[in-house]
Amino acid sequence: MRSGEMWRLLSRFNSFRRTHVILQHLRMSKHTDAAEVLLERKGCAGVITLNRPKLLNTLTVGMIRQIYTQLKKWEQDPETFLIIIKGAGGKAFCAGGDIRAISEIGNKNQKILQDFFREEYMLNNYIASYRKPYVALIHGITMGGGVGVSVHGQFRVATEKSLFAMPETAIGLFPDVGGGYFLPRLQGKLGYFLGLTGFRLKGRDVYTAGIATHFVDSEKLDTLEEDLSALKAPSSENVADVLETYHTKSKIDRDKSFILEEHMDKINSCFSANTVEQIIENLRQDGSSFALEQLKVINKMSPTSLKITLRQLMEGSSKTLQEVLTMEYRLSQSCMRGHDFYEGVRARFSRVILVLQMSSNVWTHKLGRRSQKEFT
């Protein structure tokens, strides 16, 4: 066999092997890690580290149970004065729930599906009522379930690398984990816009929008954690003072305008309607490039999810968090009995796999052409 033919066979094998590895990573339900959550005491602080960096620290039911149980213990521990929660790997705080695993389980075991949502929402509610300072370092991607374990806490620290979004309408779901509570309480109709379109906020905009309570340079996070952990029997005021000091010193994008500032009048006007159909009509009548772009985005979303989300936000605007979470649990189980969610997840991961496979093939083709010249 000539060296050129050997190289072609080797290239195909390597391409197949890489694709197989990628698919293994995407099969989240089959991923197991004994240390998915790191729980440790550092000085006066109980530190929670979400430890699935290859999967952007997505939450599993096991992680939720570990966090809930440990928070209970720390709340009763007289030597633990505050909680710090963060994500491993630097790319994400937490990109959400493990939706691939959820979608696969849903068709086979409704009990596990019920447990996941119920226990996740119980954790969200517990964080909101926690009796000790709770500091979430939302550095990197923070979506869905990641928002749930951060936004309800007393302190949320964003960095220039933070990326916030509630993209659930794109996968046949709705912005849950208390989205029906905190989104309608953002300025104007901003929360409605974010919930319906899945628009992504980055960096200081996460703070300006009201998602984060403080903004800190990412290179200062380790020092911030050390300073918080070194406090002596701190109160919420002591923790707030430390965070405010770091926040005040941060100069990154300090003078930059909020990305949606010039569009807020349009957002408030177009998204104030009581029906999805009227919002779509408002955007069409507005006719600006911004409005038409949002119209394109909305038209790609699940129509059912859009209607559920709008009603969820309208109802949630006057409910307590506990009432909202009860409502969202019922909605989640209804969505799990439908087909939009499963189709949305399937389509999303099919696109990811296709892009990865195409990238792999292009890379292999280029490398093959170059290396064949060297081997022949």
Sign of CA dihedral 292, 179, 344, 329: negative
Tokens of 281: 């009509």
Classified as helix, coil or strand, 61 is helix
Closest Cα partner for 124 from 297, 266, 316, 326?
326
According to DSSP, residue 302 is labeled: -
Classified as helix, coil or strand, 50 is strand
Q: Cβ of 150: how many Cβ atoms within 10 Å?
A: 29
Please work out, in degrees rounded to the nearest 5, the angle formed at the alpha carbon of residue 61 by the alpha carbons of 44 and 157.
40
Tokens of 257: 């305008």
Task: Tell how many helices (H) and how many strands (E) occur in the chain.
Answer: 16, 10
Rounded alpha-carbon distances, angstroms, from residue 160 to 168, 297, 322: 24, 25, 32
To the nearest 10°, report the CA torsion of 190, 191, 194, 195.
Answer: -150
The pair phi, psi for residue 210, each rounded to 5°, is 100, 5
Residue numbers annotated as active site: 97, 145, 168, 176
